Amino acid sequence: MPLFEPSTTPAGQRPKRYGESIYAYYRDSERPGVVAIRDLLEVWFLEVPLDEQLDLQQRFRSPIERHYRSAMFELFLHHLLLRCGFQLEFHPDVPGVQRHPDFLVSREGQELFYLEAIAVSNSVREEVETNRMNQVYDVLNGLASPDFYLGMRLEGAPATQPAGARLRRELGVWLATLDRQAIQQSYLEERYEDVPVYEWEHDGWRIIFEPMPKGDAARTDPSVRPLAMAMAMPMQARQLRLDEALKDAVAKKDRYGRLPLPLVVAVQVIDEFRIDRIAVMDGLFGPEAIGVNAQGLERPGRVPDGAWVSPAGPRHRTISTVMAWSTLDPWTFTSIEPIVAHNPYASIPLPTDTLPVAQHVVDNQRDLLVLQAGVSMEQLLGLARDWLPGD
């Protein structure tokens, strides 16, 4: 059973369209890098037991990005753990519990821990809004604009589907009135206030379009897309709040009661920005703060509002360890390292020598987090950092 179905609509060498699903583009593209991605993922898929392949395949092929991302993450984790020398059982039975974790992880016949995987992304409403915007971007990329790229400053999101074709016509009329040489001179002399803009609004979504003169080669190349870049305006920038996302993910996976083994939760945070250590620790242990003792001396500490601690004390103690990843794509498999932290209040701690990756452990004597060195993704996956061929 293959992971990818045969393509009936080859995409040649073109880039991915905004509204195109990731799976559909990987299936149809003939670019060397994408062909290498397909080949690698098919090899990984063959490692999955036959009775688990259909479910994983269907979710991987979904046009809904969060379903695809979840399946990709599961496939990645399965291969990574196999490469680390573990054996995996899908959806194992847990004594006294009807639910089934994603994996039971063993080594040489010894059961070591359960693993739950979750991809945390924007809400369904935000995903619908993004799909509406992507449809407009794809229509605008069909605009005939030999002289200019279009930069975009964005505010808000559309509550209903905009008429992209009408906007494209309006922009075409506007662009035809512009003087390319004069605008180019304004950029060269850094007189940005002299660059004309086109403002457009639709049902809660506002875009300011800025013309950016093309170079001579791009002016004669019809394959060059006019949309150059999009930037959210600061007052309306929407970012996934990592601390809340991690707390929600941990709470969602704390559903097994007392377990006979440690429980590891692997979280992939789907966001355009990479997560960092500080944000992960704030989400797990509570935000950093400065406290004052009885003598009036300042002392660093944390607000007790994390996944593992509340004003009432420790919580979610069945979860032993969290492994947090930024958004994983094939070209970032070897460049993104997980941020791993052990729960100091865990009912059943995971031994710190179980996982080969770098991990954060609480030193109770010094009351601080200590980073324990580990092996890189590049080494664990057996892939070079630049493993994808160029186009």
Q: Out of 97-101, 177-181, 299-303, give the one with best mean pLDDT.
A: 177-181
* Confidence category of residue 236, pLDDT binned at 50, 70, 90: very low
**Which one is predicted more confidently, 239 or 189?**
189
**At residue 137, does pLDDT exceed 90?**
no
Within a domain: 4 = no
**What kind and span of H or E run contains 26?**
helix 22-28
CA distance 225 to 138: 10
Q: Based on the domain organization, do 294 and 357 belong to the same domain? A: yes
Q: Based on the domain organization, do 43 and 78 belong to the same domain? A: yes
Q: Based on the domain organization, do 257 and 360 belong to the same domain? A: yes
Look at residue 270 in the predicted model and tell me its pLDDT: 84
CA distance 247 to 267: 11
Within a domain: 12 = no
Query: Which residue, 189, 204, 236, sits at the end of a domain?
Result: 236
Q: Based on the domain organization, do 129 and 72 belong to the same domain? A: no
Reported as a single tens digit per residue, the pLDDT across 63-97 is 988 899 999 999 999 999 999 999 999 999 988 88
User: Coil, strand or helix: which one is 177?
Assistant: coil
Q: Based on the domain organization, do 231 and 282 belong to the same domain? A: no
Q: Based on the domain organization, do 29 and 173 belong to the same domain? A: no
pTM listed for this prediction: 0.79
Query: Which residue, 183, 213, 236, sits at the end of a domain?
Result: 236
Nearest to 119 by CA among 208, 205, 59: 59
- Taking every pair of Cα atoms in the chain, the longest distance, rounded to a whole number of angstroms, is 75
Reported as a single tens digit per residue, the pLDDT across 270-287 is 877 788 888 898 889 888
* Confidence category of residue 219, pLDDT binned at 50, 70, 90: confident
CA distance 51 to 145: 52
**At residue 240, does pLDDT exceed 50?**
no
Look at residue 234 in the predicted model and tell me its pLDDT: 44
The whole-chain average pLDDT of the chain stands at 88
Q: Based on the domain organization, do 132 and 232 belong to the same domain? A: yes
* Confidence category of residue 218, pLDDT binned at 50, 70, 90: confident
Within a domain: 1 = no
Check if the beta carbon of residue 180 is closer than 8 Å to that of residue 148: yes
Query: Which residue, 236, 256, 286, sits at the end of a domain?
Result: 236
